Amino acid sequence: MTKTIWRKLDRRIETIWADTPEYCAGQEKNGTWKERLGKYCRAHRTELLFVLLMGCFLCGLSWILPFDQGPDEKMRYMIPTYIYRHGTLPAGYDPEVTSRIWGISYAYQPILPYIFGGYLMKLVGLFTTGDKALLMAARFINVLIGMGFYWYVLQISKKLFHRGIFRVFFVALLAMLPQLLYLFVYVNTDGIAMLSSAMLICYWLEGLEHHWDRRSCTRLAVGVSVCALSYFNAYGYALFSIVLFVVSLAVRYMKRGLKACMQIILKRGIYITVLVFLLAGWWFIQCAILYDGDFLGMKVQDHYAEMYAQEDFKPSVKKSLYQQGVPLAQMLANEEEGGMEWIRTTWRSFIGYFGYYKYALGLDIYEIHKRLSALGAVGLFLKILVHCLEYAMGSLIPLLKKMGIWKQEKAGISGRKSVKWYAAAGTVGEKMHPMEFFVLQFSFVCCIIIPVLLSLYYSYMSDFQPQGRYIMPMVIPLMYFVTVGIERFVTLFFGKWMQYVMMVPLFYAVLHVFLGAFISVYIPTYYEPLASWADIRFVWFSNLRVFTRLIQMLFPG
């Protein structure tokens, strides 16, 4: 009977996509699940090997990291420990998970990785109850999340970039960013926020490619659900999932008429909404029940902080910069200008700052990524300028032909229809409408801006914390634009073989940051037998004088 009900429901749901059978074709399951799994693993063996290597590296970093050397790990670890001991989820005001200093806990916010961590601790506890084993069980969830993140990064790179060298460079920017790797080695919810951002970007691209068929809608719903149960600074991706979904369907189906288009959008939108409610709604319902309707758990957190925090840390006593009358410009300005260095500190901790922002990487390391970003910005400017010129020429050529001024076709410019500038978005771009491409780029820009604005607002209006992890959800769009800009710069000025030569210093720049962070700082700091590695320095063309200056005009270092 259950199978009959499910089949009827499945057929009923399938009618939502009845008008797009061509995009659902070929998705039937052929063979047993073992055969399908084996075929999938063989097809993606290189990617799976990369993800496995990343997992091993993250496990090693997690193993040598002492307890409470990640920001607030001691407070966060209380939650999986509570689940391990009691087998249930804690309320935010439970004394076992509440800080005696701040009077609050992290249990007011979504705790999805802590739930998995707590139950993995129970499984490990069947064999050993050692403190290190239980801590690693809780941390291992974040290692798995990091592996999932890099799996999605690989899928995104294949969809966004045509050429392999730039795919690899995009992945390298993310796989060797010290602070990003650091988020996956201790107990936190920042890691799952990063995973949700990667999932949603991947599912955006799939939805645009397949015109939001059933599979892509289902995956989008899963991505939004994970995002809803992650950190609040990733919620911009959920918001722009709606924008991209609606605009894309409107572009595709508006030719059928407004009524038909609205029906398609509503049917598929309701399907996604129901799935999100089923997958993520339970948390917000629980919060509403526990905290008298406060389904986000934010107001009740301030209430209990006022009741139980130490006197100096009560919200009524601890005033924000805004309440103190500190100008916003002073908060943003550098120390030499009499400011509080919010921008500089946030940027440096976005690249890498270990422990409780105690172990810096060195000024040269931060300068490298600054120059990479600047080079990417120059390339983006050139890309936009070239496209504008191509579009203008494509519009002007027909008029010049009629006037008899344009006598022959010029190479590379043959009219507006041939100027498919939106195809620059890799394999997906070839199937993308120009409006979809524009909204995708706009969504990327907004997903860079939103975490920065949220972090800025929090530091100024609540608690001054210029931490790079608060803006980390912007990292994929940021590195995408950096890679696109560098691709445009390199391909515009250099021939094919020379492009590979020019990319060598850029790859070494990324590797230099990675090695400088982990060989010279992280490992010697947290693994005493290799403390001597702190003296290791990596050469960056430091003794080439004139040649160095020429290179540094173009490349980081």
CA nearest to 156, candidates 212, 223, 206:
206
Buried b (16+ CB within 10 A) or exposed e, 403-418: eeeeeeeeeeeeeeee
Burial of 326 (0-12, 13-18, 19+ CB in 10 A): middle
Give the whole-angstrom CA distance, residue 423 versus residue 506. Answer: 25
* Under-70 pLDDT residues of the chain: 1, 19-30, 393-431, 539-557
Amino acid letter at 241? S
Helix H or strand E encompassing 354: strand 353-354
What is the pTM for the complete model shown? 0.91
Give the whole-angstrom CA distance, residue 236 versus residue 232. Answer: 9
Q: Taking a C-beta distance cutoff of 8 angstroms, is the pair 127, 176 a contact?
A: no
CA quadruple 274, 278, 283, 289: dihedral sign: positive
Structure confidence at residue 430 (pLDDT): 64
- Cα-Cα-Cα-Cα torsion 488, 244, 221, 232, nearest 10 degrees, comes to 80
Structure confidence at residue 263 (pLDDT): 93
Burial of 344 (0-12, 13-18, 19+ CB in 10 A): middle
List Cβ neighbours of 275 (8 Å cut-off, separation of 6 or more): 218, 221, 222, 225
Give the whole-angstrom CA distance, residue 309 versus residue 69. Answer: 23
From residue 205, alpha-carbon distances to 155, 243, 437, 443 in Å are 10, 14, 10, 12
């392999």: which residue's tokens?
Answer: 164
Give the whole-angstrom CA distance, residue 463 versus residue 503. Answer: 42
List Cβ neighbours of 219 (8 Å cut-off, separation of 6 or more): 199, 203, 206
Structure confidence at residue 387 (pLDDT): 77
The single-letter DSSP state of residue 319 is -
Structure confidence at residue 328 (pLDDT): 94
Q: What are phi and psi of 203, to 5 degrees?
A: -75, -30
Helix H or strand E encompassing 353: strand 353-354
Question: CA 384, 451, 555 angle in degrees (round to 5)?
Answer: 45
